[in-house]
Structure 1
Amino acid sequence: MKKFKWMMAGESFDAIGGSMMRFHCEDFPGVTITRCNFRVPYAHKKGYWIAKKYFAEAENGLFREFRTKRECMEFVESGGLARFQKEGERV
């Protein structure tokens, strides 16, 4: 299986401590993997913890959420996003 190289395309931060990082691969034009870090307040004490979510996004606005970057990359590399775009949200 071919090893794909995902490069960081940019990073942005918001005022409350969250961040967004985007990755792209030349083998998949129009597809972006986005990592979002956001603050989640603790339920019973002061402070917060950082949660991460990963998204595979296409140019046409379709996206799918994943728990890890590896799951997201495997979905795109195995052709899952192409099937997702053709079939809609059934994948």
Structure 2
Amino acid sequence: MTGSVATMIIEILTGKFEVSSEEVTTGTVLEDVEVDSLALLELSLILEKRLGISIEEGTLHSRQTVEEAADVIARLDDTAPAAV
């Protein structure tokens, strides 16, 4: 895997969800860029596929920052660095 989980989340948000790159950093709260429950599910599925891990429903939530979400995912995948 290239890059960190946080970078991957930012790439997904700016690519798939068309969030402006100026709006999203590791400190961005997901709900502040309109990531709702459906978007969280889609984000989880994309991360599962890219990282080869399983993410249980409710692991990610819209009140997390990108960095907090990355930390949670990195704990599921010990080989993935969390921060940028």
**TM more than 0.5:** no
More helix by share: 2
More strand by share: 1
TM norm structure 1: 0.30
* Larger Rg belongs to: 1
Higher relative contact order (CA 8 A, sep 6+): 2
